[in-house]
Copies of this chain bind each other. A is one copy, B any other.
Amino acid sequence: MTKKQSIQQGDTVALVDEKQRVYLINTNRSTDKFKGVGVFNPKDLIDYEYGSQKTIGSKTFFLLPVAIPDALTGLKRKAQIILPKDSAQIIINCSITPGKTVLEAGVGSGSLTTVLSSIVGETGQVISYDNRQDFIDHAKKNLTTSQLLDRVTLKNKDVTKGISETELDAIILDIPNPWEAIPHAWKALTPGGYLCTYSPLISQVEQSVEEIRKHPFITIKTVELIEREMIVGERGTRPSFNMLGHSGYLTFARKILKTD
């Protein structure tokens, strides 16, 4: 297997500046002013080796292939995003693997969509419902940039009104009222498939768990993930003073055919 070591026509490239900010730019685009980068012609990136540096205007950038952290850092935000610490838990706890078919609602800015579609790969499928067309359009732009759109089906649809797909491997609900979609979710899941709800409020968790318990689900579990960065300095190490106090609670459950 030979690897693509230099930038090709059509690649989206992650430009990382010295402050670790990431800018995603596709080499098919024309000369333009790119926010944070400046005016330049993306075609100039072609043939540069991945891992090398390029100076554009007064700034120097590392040129890297787009990895998941780049796609997330470079994502343009419109709505609140699901953080990597939380989408990572969703991947493992919902057993998202290559080839799986996964539904999420809503799509927001497409941050979870980015992670899900990266993991299910070319053989998998992500279906994303949102009842706001502006979010769908915005997520579409982000997924186009990160070259993941081919695995994603975006639908303007309210998940609490019903789910048209069946035999889904996992359903992730990031909406204010997930309990209203849970009966539909049970029907749409394949046996052994996973349901996940993401909610910032305890009251949302309680309503969701109450609804989940009315349906044939097992291994119901609610967790919270707290991420703490450690700063390794010259004089010693300490936790970072900056820390996000809260994002959301994740509730997981697994469909069975019926409980007695």
Contacts and interface: CB of A to CB of B under 8 A. Distances in A.
Interface of A: 3, 5, 16, 20, 49-53, 62, 64-65, 67-69, 84-85, 87-89, 91-93, 95, 97-99, 115, 118-123, 167, 190-192, 194, 200-206, 209, 218-219, 221-233, 235-246, 249, 254-257, 260
Given A5-B191, A223-B229, A226-B228, 11 more contacts: A50-B190, A62-B256, A64-B254, A69-B219, A88-B88, A98-B123, A201-B233, A201-B237, A206-B237, A226-B226, A243-B246
Nearest to A65: B192
A84 to B, nearest CB: 5
A226 B260 CA distance: 36
Most buried by B among A84, A92, A190, A257: A92
A213 to B, nearest CB: 9
A224 B230 CA distance: 7
Nearest to A125: B1
B203 A236 contact: yes
A82 B93 CA distance: 15
Given A92-B115, A192-B65, A228 B223 contact: yes
A229 B235 contact: no
Contacts of A49: 191, 257
Tell me the dominant secondary structure on chain A's binding face.
mixed
Contacts of A5: 190-191
Given A84-B93, A225-B225, A202 B238 contact: yes
B202 A229 contact: no
A227 B225 contact: yes
A204 to B, nearest CB: 6
A231 B202 CA distance: 11
Given A88-B92, A91-B91, A227-B223, A246 B241 contact: yes
A194 B95 contact: no
A164 to B, nearest CB: 16
Contacts of A257: 49, 51-53
A64 B241 contact: no
B229 A67 contact: no
A256 B62 CA distance: 8
7 contacts: A64-B254, A68-B93, A69-B95, A88-B89, A202-B230, A223-B230, A240-B245
